[in-house]
Structure 1
Amino acid sequence: MNLPAAATWGRLQTFLAVYEGGSIRAAAEALHVTPPAVSAAIAALETALGTALFTKSGRGIVATDAGETFASYARKLLGLLAEAAGAVHDADRGRLRIGAVATASEYVLPRLMASFADEHPQVELSLSVLPRDELFALARDHAVDVVLAGRPPRGSGLVTRARRANRLVLVGRPGRDDDPLTSTWLLTGQGSGTRDTTLSLLSRLQAAPPLLTLGTSGAAVAAARQGLGLTLVHEEAVLGQLDAGELAPYAVPGTPVDRPWHLCTTADPTAASRLFVRHVSDPARVGTAAFHTRSRPKG
């Protein structure tokens, strides 16, 4: 059996389910098929490739070196196929897979997506909310069409199509009188752009305050409200709490930090992606939430 014949959509999905789930049984449950069907799909791929893709490890299985390599290609192949399924339709009848970091998904995207859906109801929309680094990886693998996050890393092959101003501000419980640079700083999780910006800022200031990782921006803000420390956060996410006096801004050199939102695609975006970028960059359609396209730096 040759690989083009063996590498069907279903078998590639099955392979990735095993790869991510760590067992035949977990993959079968996720895909709602029987374990023998999963085993048969993996066996067909291994026969076509002439190498083992998995090996036993404890009670589960792990990918071999060949399996790790194949996983990267499988993601790209499935991503391209899904992209192609949407691309064959007209832009306003296609598919748009959006990826966004958590803060953008809560405070930036809802108005934009609602406006776009009202004007283009035939476009099939989906949203993935993940840390920045994971989103950029998905975009490179063609698993999402548009990413809303910070600036894409250099060499990623991703292109910023539009930007919108955004600031990170340092906030904490009102009434603190201790030195911000010796207070505890509350961090978001690994892979977060806000975390990286916070650590970079502290490094430039040659400050080494206690650090506490709380995972999400929402958890860090909630902890700051309770007086556990200070956190650097997107201003849009805390405007209401600042206005209500539940949080207060604190100043250290280098803050607020300008961190524009970037709307990114691959170098060859789908028609639906281009339609979305045009829509959200039109003030007549989205008002003050509009992005601008004057600068298009490559990642």
Structure 2
Amino acid sequence: MASAGELPAAATWGRLQTFLTVYETGSARAAAEALHVTPPAVSAAVAALESALGTTLFDKHGRGIVPTDAGETFASYVRKLLGLLAEAAGAVHDADRGRVRVGAVATASEYVLPLLMASFAEEHPQVELSLSVLPRDELFALAADHAVDVVLAGRPPRGSGLVTRARRPNRLILVGRPGMREDPVTATWLLTGRGSGTRDTALSLLTRLQAAPPLLTLGTSGAAVAAARQGLGVTLVHEEAVREQLEAGVLASYAVPGTPLDRPWHLSTTPEPTAATRLLLRHVCDPDAVGAAAFHTRARSRG
């Protein structure tokens, strides 16, 4: 039986990172390739943790391995531990020499973030910025695990513990090829991939309309918009992402009951953001720094 004091000594950063990589890849060999170490080194790291915990973390399954119940439980803690350690590494520095890990949904990363990040980097060149572009649900999970410092997406889900620090107006509209004669409610609806907030909103809208049109999943918002331009159907999209195409006349907006939808962008963090994160938030809420792209801090909400 392992003693309570054995785990802290065994749970080095490297071993925890190795365990999590094995958990995510499903094999010691794949983890070794990802970490640029040998498979025996991976096996030894996992074995050291298992010995300290007094339990098995993985079972063999075919040519790979699967986590045991203990492994699943341990993985949830390891994510938070590694996230907190990375957060701590940035938090110990002064705000203007810290680190900010930004997470954003794809549309926001293309049409909202570039100006904000560029102006912040110019004003605070010593702050280390990184960006993760993922579906909304994955980003909120990472933020809850302290693996990202700030999320740019829709409103954080209830019970997440995340706090909306600032918002910016945003609308979702339905678009398709100009001159479409078909009723947009019954036309094919082009959807983004699973885990996308826009997809969930589109499906909820169809439910409210009691409509059951053909559905076609195209993965990204850009792919859905491109398909709409070619006449394959209609798609719900952030107005900001298609404004130029609407002005050029290659896309047209179509009104259906319930649209346009008010879906503000939210900047969300954990309850205690780092000093560098607060510095970024102040910057993007300053009209003198970012002009019309600025967020505002009114009506702050909590997930």
Distance 1:5 1:33 in 2: 22
Q: Does 1:7 align with 2:7?
A: no
Amino acid at match of 1:64: T
- Secondary structure of the residue aligned to 2:213 is coil
- The counterpart of 1:137, out of the listed 135, 141, 150, is 141
Amino acid at match of 1:238: V
- Secondary structure of the residue aligned to 1:4 is helix
Within a 5 Å distance, the mapping from 1:26-37 to structure 2 comes to 26-37=30-41
- The C-alpha deviation readout for 1:133-185, integer Å capped at 9, x for no partner, is 00000000000000000000011100000000000010001111111111100
Q: Does 1:113 align with 2:117?
A: yes
Q: Does 1:248 align with 2:252?
A: yes
- Secondary structure of the residue aligned to 1:169 is strand
Which residue of structure 1 lines up, in the alignment, with residue 99 of structure 2?
A: 95
- The C-alpha deviation readout for 1:169-227, integer Å capped at 9, x for no partner, is 10001111111111100110111000111111111111111111111101100110111
Which residue of structure 1 lines up, in the alignment, with residue 296 of structure 2?
A: 292
Distance 2:185 2:100 in 1: 43
Deviation at residue 257 of structure 1 after TM alignment: 0.5
Q: Does 1:173 align with 2:177?
A: yes
Q: Does 1:204 align with 2:212?
A: no
- Secondary structure of the residue aligned to 1:171 is strand
Q: CA RMSD in A?
A: 0.7
Tell me the percent identity. 84
- Secondary structure of the residue aligned to 2:194 is coil
- The counterpart of 2:60, out of the listed 56, 62, 69, is 56
TM-score normalized with structure 2 length = 0.98
Distance 1:50 1:194 in 2: 45
- The counterpart of 1:17, out of the listed 17, 21, 27, is 21
Which residue of structure 1 lines up, in the alignment, with residue 242 of structure 2?
A: 238
Distance 2:182 2:41 in 1: 62
Which residue of structure 1 lines up, in the alignment, with residue 221 of structure 2?
A: 217
Distance 2:169 2:222 in 1: 21
**Runs of at least 4 residues off by over 2 Å:** none
Distance 1:228 1:64 in 2: 45
- Secondary structure of the residue aligned to 1:19 is helix
Deviation at residue 295 of structure 1 after TM alignment: 1.4
TM-score normalized with structure 1 length = 0.99
